Structure 1
């Protein structure tokens, strides 16, 4: 812990922001294997939220690694730090009164739990974007599974590194069974019901 730093209270609270925008802020945490559809789904859901006048923003794993997290690798400790940083950024979005959609493999249950504990109980919605390794390898838009199988990418989730599927996610979206449009509809239904 850094010494001589004191928290400065904001003049506008999260509750006041939510009241002004007439929306509840939250984190929709999309987790799943590479090529399961996390980024595609998060962006399609973001469009649906935007079209419904809901303030939202997507934090995408690859995009974040171009800037904020460009100093991190893919070993276990770097992955933990990647998720810790994103959790803190997502918490800021919640405080700002927005819905934040995070699309990160986030392979470890403990790391996702750490982020869950940063916000209030109803502000973290874990979305398990479910797809088998075989289905993801067939989609493989970036060619990463082939590289991982050839040993060119060490610590690749689902091939040479573990993925711990959520045990009790708020939502399971099966991208092998449903189209992106159907998946977005499931998310919008969840949002309306809560």
Structure 2
């Protein structure tokens, strides 16, 4: 892998991260080599993974050589994806890995307001077998399409747990619940 050294000790730059602290992480390369105990953080604004080697901060310059990166239990994959008929590549957080994979894509709006820098925004993508991930209209659209037999249960779980489906962690929690219901339904047949 290639690295380039960066310096980022001011607060405005630190707010570009989901978590500005380097966390012990695991990398899996496309050749299935595991690299453990590496300190990594995700820079949302520039869409790069940064690692800390000794006292230096570095950027991973060849993300296409990585299969996945796990930071604090959250899995990220560098993938080509489709948004409004255009393809691009970047890091996607894997939320669900059932028959179709569901990802969250984070971004920061380009504005001069420091308040916007503190809150990364996100949208969801779905990938069915043989296709590249594509942007979804909404979390509710995905649920009604892929979990239509559990719509009532989904709404009840969302309401009872006060979930905000615009937050990837809440949406991931709902997907785990729906997956559990799907497995139970198949097992009871």
TM-score scaled by structure 2?
0.29
Give the structure with the larger helix fraction: 1
Q: Which has the higher contact order (CA 8 A, sep 6+)?
A: 1
More strand by share: 2
* TM-score after normalising by structure 1: 0.28
